[in-house]
């Protein structure tokens, strides 16, 4: 009598990532965040790959929801992303008296686009993103952030932001932008170009005379004040009317992220919104309001923090 044998089940290779050990993701980057680190407990790795431009990791965390990580640095989490997206979007949008045409550079997760299209006054919002994989993964895993990609006012350009701005430089004045939002990665590798004087010059050339710019500063006063002061000086060499502002985001190392807001108008007070949210618009917001705008947009003189 022969006994039937059962083949053992095939082994399934679960996703792994070198930054996840013992169930914890660790963000350690001595260049961007010297002397400290950040960790999030992982429930499940949802995706890991190397795109043509960067290392991409998406995981489900125990307390922050889905987390998107690019080149080892947290870009957003479901739990607190609105604090960043609303400030980087609505500070410039409410500083402009009537923004109709908006450009977003970076921001492939879709969060900034989602906020921009909340303004009824806009006619078009163009997203320039170099890595289509980020957009695809955001549509799959970050459903609440990526809702605006199919909005009728949204146009997506898959190209390098620098090259796109060089094209805009030669456009007619009426074709240029009222608001530009730079939602770039941190200043390492190719993204380092987004923090140089030439980039700010291109941004100035892409704005109308009353245009407003805001840029992710990738830093705050508690981590590398020397770098931040230099970046503000660079921006002010192109936009004399420049202020530092910030937002509080727990999943970013140190819990605070700096922004730089600039205007081509010398006499525009960047600390006070030019227009106020309508009742309908304010009802769509969870973080931004006129009071927090005035509180978190501050002087570009950061010398006191050196004391």
Q: Which residues are catalytic?
A: 183
Exposed, middle or buried: residue 67 (CB in 10 Å: 0-12, 13-18, 19+)?
Answer: buried
CA 214: distance to chain centroid?
A: 10
- Burial readout 70-84 (b: 16 or more C-beta within 10 A, e: otherwise): bbbbbbbbbbbbbbb
In whole angstroms, give the CA distance from residue 203 to residue 244: 17
Q: Order the strands of the 37-50 sheet from edge to edge.
A: 20-21, 24-28, 37-50, 55-61, 66-70, 73-77
In whole angstroms, give the CA distance from residue 256 to residue 220: 6
Look at residue 171 and give its three-state secondary structure: coil
In whole angstroms, give the CA distance from residue 46 to residue 25: 13
Where helices occur in the chain by DSSP H, the ranges are: 81-95, 111-116, 132-141, 161-168, 197-206, 225-236, 279-283, 290-296
In whole angstroms, give the CA distance from residue 98 to residue 21: 49
Look at residue 248 and give its three-state secondary structure: strand
> What's the DSSP call for residue 193?
G
């Amino acid at each position: 009598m022969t006994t039937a044998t059962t083949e053992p089940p095939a082994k399934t290779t679960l996703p792994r990532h070198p930054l996840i050990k013992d169930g914890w993701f660790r963000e350690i980057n001595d260049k961007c965040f010297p002397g400290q680190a950040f960790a999030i407990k992982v429930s499940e790795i949802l995706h890991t790959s190397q795109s043509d431009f960067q290392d991409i990791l998406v995981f489900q965390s125990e307390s922050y929801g889905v987390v998107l990580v690019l080149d080892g640095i947290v870009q957003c989490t479901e739990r607190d992303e609105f604090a960043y997206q609303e400030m980087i979007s609505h500070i410039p949008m409410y500083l402009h008296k009537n923004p109709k045409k908006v450009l977003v550079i970076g921001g492939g997760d879709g969060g900034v686009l989602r906020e921009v299209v909340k303004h009824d006054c806009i006619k078009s919002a163009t997203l320039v993103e170099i890595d289509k994989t980020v957009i695809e993964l955001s549509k799959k895993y970050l459903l609440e952030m990526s809702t605006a990609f199919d909005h009728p006012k949204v146009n997506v350009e898959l190209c390098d932001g620098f090259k796109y701005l060089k094209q805009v430089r030669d456009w007619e004045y009426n074709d240029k932008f009222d608001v530009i939002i730079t939602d770039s990665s941190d200043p390492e590798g190719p993204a380092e170009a987004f923090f140089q004087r030439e980039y700010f010059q291109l941004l100035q050339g892409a704005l109308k005379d009353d245009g407003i710019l805001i840029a992710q500063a990738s830093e705050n006063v508690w981590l590398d004040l020397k770098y931040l002061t230099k970046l503000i000086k660079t921006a002010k060499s192109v936009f004399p009317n420049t202020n530092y502002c910030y937002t509080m985001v727990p999943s970013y190392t140190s819990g605070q992220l700096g922004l730089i807001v600039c205007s081509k108008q010398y006499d525009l007070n960047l600390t006070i919104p030019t227009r106020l949210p309508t009742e309908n618009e304010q009802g769509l917001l969870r973080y931004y309001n006129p009071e927090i705008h005035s509180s978190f947009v501050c002087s570009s003189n950061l010398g006191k923090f050196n004391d």
